C-alpha cells in the first residue's frame, strides 16, 4: 500500500488527506485505508467479512470519488468498517474497478469510532500522475 498524510491546515471542520501510490490500485487502496483510519483504529478491524464491489466511470477522478462514496454508503448500510482493499482497475474508454473489501461489523466497544465520515467532497479534490506515482487530495465531510 502507498502512503498518506493528513492535512490539518486544509479543512479545519472536515478531514483532509493526501495519498500516494505507485499504481491506481495502490492509490485507491491507500485512499480507502486513510478514509477508514479517520473513523477508527484500522489495526483493530478484523477481516471477518468480504464485500464485492464493481464500479465504472468516464475518468479516474470520477472513479475515485465514486469509489470512496460507495465505501461510505456500504459502511452506513452494512454498519461495517474495512481495512483491506483488493482492487483491480482497468483503463480503457471507461475506467472499471472490481474489488473486495474486507472488514467487520462496527463494534463501539472494540473500535471506538473517532469520527463518522458522511461524504467525500469535491472541494480541492484532485487525482494526478506525478512522474512514476499517483497522488490524490481528498477532503471528507465529517
How far does Cα 25 stand from its chain's mean position? Answer: 11
**For residue 14, how many other CB atoms are within 10 A of its CB?**
18
All domains of the chain in start order, with CATH: 4-141 (3.55.10.10)
Using DSSP, state whether 52 is helix, strand or coil: strand
Cα dihedral 36, 42, 45, 47, rounded to 10, equals 80
pLDDT at site 6: 61
Cell numbers for 36: 477508514
pLDDT at site 50: 97
Q: What is the mean pLDDT of each run of 10 residues along the chain (142 residues)?
A: 67 80 97 95 95 98 98 96 98 96 92 88 92 93 88
Using DSSP, state whether 47 is helix, strand or coil: coil
Q: Check residue 76 and report its DSSP letter.
A: H
Contact 19, 127 (CB under 8 A): no
Q: What is the pTM of this model?
A: 0.91
Strands 126-130, 119-120: parallel, antiparallel or unpaired by DSSP?
A: unpaired
Contact 45, 111 (CB under 8 A): yes
Contacts of 72 (CB under 8 A, 6+ apart): 35, 117, 118, 119, 120
Amino acid at each position: 500500500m502507498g502512503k498518506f498524510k493528513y492535512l490539518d491546515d486544509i479543512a479545519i471542520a472536515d478531514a483532509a488527506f493526501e495519498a500516494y501510490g505507485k499504481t491506481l490500485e495502490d492509490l485507491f487502496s491507500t485512499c480507502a485505508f486513510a478514509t477508514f483510519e479517520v473513523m477508527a483504529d484500522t489495526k483493530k478491524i478484523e477481516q471477518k467479512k468480504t464485500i464485492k464491489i464493481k464500479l465504472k466511470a468516464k475518468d479516474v477522478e470520477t472513479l475515485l470519488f465514486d469509489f470512496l462514496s460507495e465505501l461510505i454508503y456500504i459502511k452506513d448500510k452494512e454498519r461495517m468498517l474495512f481495512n483491506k482493499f483488493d482492487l483491480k482497475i482497468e483503463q480503457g474508454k471507461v475506467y472499471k474497478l472490481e474489488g473486495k473489501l474486507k472488514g467487520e461489523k462496527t463494534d463501539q466497544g472494540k473500535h471506538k469510532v473517532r469520527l463518522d465520515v458522511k461524504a467525500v467532497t469535491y472541494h480541492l479534490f484532485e487525482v494526478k500522475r506525478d512522474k512514476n506515482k499517483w497522488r490524490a487530495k481528498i477532503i471528507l465531510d465529517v
